[in-house]
């Protein structure tokens, strides 16, 4: 059992879930689908590293971690219901055994990033999912290329319009990051990256 699997199995088991190894096998199979380039276990592991950095500030880190593990487990490029289906995947696997399952599903749904979650745990899930926007410019560009590779159905013009709409909405927010931890850590660099991508200033 590798480190990633062992971490999931331990979390799932202590949260009350059954058949932890089977749950991980199903999750890992989903994240390894050939259409994925960005939405893989690598993204989940990066989320977990950011979770660990912020752990002391998170009210319920296990619930946040479960949401992060499952937030992209269902991913169909271009589909509008990936988050809902990911929440359903978690609910089905939890089999009513994991406390706060309803709240964890709500945190998964919040990763549509359409609204700001009311609770701090949900805000941490969303901030951690978006923390990659505040990475150094080379990683930000690399992630952009991986996201582009997931939409071979779109030509460059259509993809550019779609990406600009999403990033523009984030940049227009008063705050990209709602928690103080990630606002202090990522806000300035994320705004610089989004501004660069949207062509509102010269690249640096």
Which structure tokens are listed for 22? 């089977």
pLDDT confidence of residue 52: 98
For position 202, what pLDDT does the model report?
44
**Domains, the chain, ordered by start:** 3-197 (1.10.3210)
Q: How far is CA 54 from CA 50, 65, 88, 128, 183, in A?
A: 6, 11, 27, 9, 12
Neighbours of 54 (CB within 10 A): 19
* Among 3, 195, 11, 165, CA closest to 99: 11
So what's the pLDDT on residue 203? 42
In this prediction the pTM is 0.95
What are the tens digits of pLDDT across the range 133-153? 999 999 999 999 999 999 999
Mean local confidence (pLDDT), 41-54: 98
Tell me how far apart the alpha carbons of residues 44 and 71 are, in angstroms, rounded to a whole number. 9
Burial class of residue 7, CB neighbours in 10 A (0-12, 13-18, 19+): middle
Distance separating alpha carbons of residues 111 and 128, to the nearest angstrom? 10
Total length of the chain: 204
* Mean pLDDT over each residue of the chain, to the nearest integer: 96
Phi-psi sector, 33: left (phi>0), alpha (psi -120 to 50), beta = beta
Nearest to 130 by CA among 83, 186, 200: 186
Per-residue pLDDT, 1: 86
């Amino acid at each position: 059992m590798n480190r990633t699997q062992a971490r999931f199995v331990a979390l799932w088991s202590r949260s009350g879930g059954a058949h932890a190894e089977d749950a991980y096998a199903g999750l890992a199979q989903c994240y390894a689908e050939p259409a994925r380039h960005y939405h893989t276990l690598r993204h989940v592991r990066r989320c977990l590293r950011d979770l660990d950095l912020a752990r002391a500030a998170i009210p319920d880190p296990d619930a946040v971690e479960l949401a992060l593990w499952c937030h992209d487990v269902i991913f169909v490029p271009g589909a509008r219901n990936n988050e809902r289906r990911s929440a359903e995947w978690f609910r089905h696997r939890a089999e009513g055994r994991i406390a706060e399952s309803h709240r964890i599903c709500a945190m998964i749904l919040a990763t549509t990033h359409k609204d700001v979650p009311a609770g701090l745990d949900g805000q941490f899930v969303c901030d951690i999912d978006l923390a990659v926007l505040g990475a150094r410019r080379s990683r930000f560009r690399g992630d952009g290329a991986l996201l582009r590779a997931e939409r071979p159905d779109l030509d460059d013009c259509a993809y550019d319009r779609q990406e600009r709409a999403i990033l523009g909405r984030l940049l227009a927010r008063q705050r990209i990051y709602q928690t103080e931890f990630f606002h202090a850590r990522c806000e300035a660099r994320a705004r610089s990256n989004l501004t660069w991508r949207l062509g509102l200033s010269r690249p640096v």
